Amino acid sequence: MNARGLRPLVAATAAALIVSGCSTTTGGTPAPGTPRSTITSTSSSATTTTSTTTTAPAGMQPFSTPAAIFADVKAYWETSDANVDTGVTLVSDPDAPTCSGGDFENSTAAMCGDSYTGQVVYSEPKMAELLSQPHGPMAATLVLSHEYGHAIQRYAGEFVGGASGPIRNGVKGIELSADCLSGFYVNAREFDPAEVTAALPLTTIGRNPTRTDAFNAGMRLTDPTTCFSNYS
């Protein structure tokens, strides 16, 4: 796997896969580049799908809605050197994220399925509560970019067949890898470091030193594939 692109998994993985380990609110970097000034935001819920166009604020302050946050995360990975083009969509749940065969009662969000037809599902009440707090939009950015990190793992053919990687201080490698990818994205998009630092304690990434280390490691990387090799 090279630094210019993360190749999709060619082997058939048609069955829906559940990425486990995000049992609580997750906190959620590709090579530095010039952020896109305009993105298309797509939001899906259990009953409604909407599309809007969002302009990124100067200085890359966080977006304020799950749809805009997710759209920016996905657009970054598609247009960066990593060239990750998944079919993953964002879906809201009126209660807790629920995947086929799994329930994430205490989660703010979860990645369900594969990288072609999968969904990042977020809890409407938990996400609303998070966004209402000071630094909440940045915390929500960490959450959703972490979950999309699991989609990237599937796209690249990492952690397949139920593999979760080595456990470090009680944390699965698959989760640390997603934390690392979240940090890579946050750094590449040049979000305000003070805002990121203030938002981290609102997430489980910021409350767990091992996960914080993985996130910070991602922020320092120039090659996102290192987020695979370091934690698999």
Higher pLDDT, 218 or 36: 218
In this prediction, residue 150 carries a pLDDT of 96
How crowded is residue 56: how many other Cβ atoms within 10 Å of its Cβ? 18
Residue-wise pLDDT for 136-152, tens only, equals 999 999 999 999 999 99
- In three-state secondary structure terms, 46 is coil
44 has a pLDDT exceeding 60 = no
Mean pLDDT of 81-89: 95
| pTM for the structure as a whole | 0.78
CA-to-CA dists, residue 108 to 61, 112, 202, angstroms = 21, 13, 11
Higher pLDDT, 91 or 105: 91
Mean pLDDT of 27-42: 30
In this prediction, residue 56 carries a pLDDT of 44
For residue 217, what pLDDT band results from cuts at 50, 70 and 90? very high
For residue 80, what pLDDT band results from cuts at 50, 70 and 90? very high
Per-residue DSSP letter, 26: P
Higher pLDDT, 21 or 34: 21
Two tokens at 94? 């009126």
In this prediction, residue 105 carries a pLDDT of 75
As a whole-number percent, the residues of the chain with pLDDT over 90 amount to: 66
In this prediction, residue 100 carries a pLDDT of 64
For residue 24, what pLDDT band results from cuts at 50, 70 and 90? very low
Residue-wise pLDDT for 167-216, tens only, equals 999 999 999 999 999 999 999 999 999 999 999 999 999 999 999 999 99
Mean pLDDT of 66-81: 97
Two tokens at 19? 């990425």
For residue 7, what pLDDT band results from cuts at 50, 70 and 90? low
51 has a pLDDT exceeding 60 = no
Q: Residue with structure tokens 């302009």?
A: 55
44 DSSP β-pair partners: 49, 91
